[in-house]
Amino acid sequence: MILLLDIGNTHTHLGWADTRGVRKTRDIDTTEVLGGRLPRHLRAWLGSRIPAHAALCSVVPAAIGPAQTALKGLLGHEPVVLRPDTLPGELLTLRYPRPETLGTDRIANAIAARRLVGAPVIAIDFGTATTFDVVDPRGRFIGGVIAPGISALADYLHEKTAQLPRIPLREPRTSIGRSTVEAMQVGTLTGYRGLIREVLQGIRGQLGHEGTPTVATGGYARQMVRRLPEIDRVHPHLTLEGLRLFAESTLGDRPPRGPRPGVGR
């Protein structure tokens, strides 16, 4: 079993996987990792299961150290960490001017999307930010797009105005809002789908492949694709799957090193 950690700005996604894929997942607040409370969450979640290895990626630099410490205490050896300089070339090559500036969740998404549907492919992650990551026909990561997340847009309207409320992101029943909340839902959800369409059209046009498949993930993926035929499929654990593929490629059949203290200690 491989333990996986995808540390995001708001949430940390935990997963455990075997050679067939990601089997179980759980989310915790990233503040729990930053506060040194990850071991407690791992003990509660894993129970008697003891992973052989662990892999992590993080877009929060300050969380990497606490996560590595917690995982070393659990395993008795260091986890593998996905970074541009640890990325195996057989999984993905980076054709990007400054790869050290890339969020490693984006690299994981590109790895998984390429494995799922081949190349070219576009991975979209509906997270705190919405990211589009592009793998060209030769299987190379060449860049992408970063847009504000849909919940961030809705929260911004509430936080920066005196009269607009915080709204639930439910589908509007009309294209013309008949209340303030409904008007905001039309503007946010319908408008956001327009953003997705426009960005995808531009990416596909530049690639020269109008039929480039798209794989979506993230908290709002299923809701957004209901009226977005431009997106071909949803994979709920795309980032963790990419991290799993990285771990398997990096570790191979390497046995665990050092003592195995177990999660119950």
Residues assigned a catalytic role: 105
**Phi, psi for 139 (deg, rounded to 5):** 80, 25
CA distance 234 to 47: 30
Rg of the chain in Å (alpha carbons): 20
Angle CA 105–109–110, to nearest 5: 120
Q: Which residues contact 159 (CB under 8 A, 6 or more apart)?
A: none
DSSP labels, 44-79: HHHTT---SEEEEEES-HHHHHHHHHHHHHHHSSPP
Cα dihedral 261, 244, 8, 214 in deg (nearest 10): -170
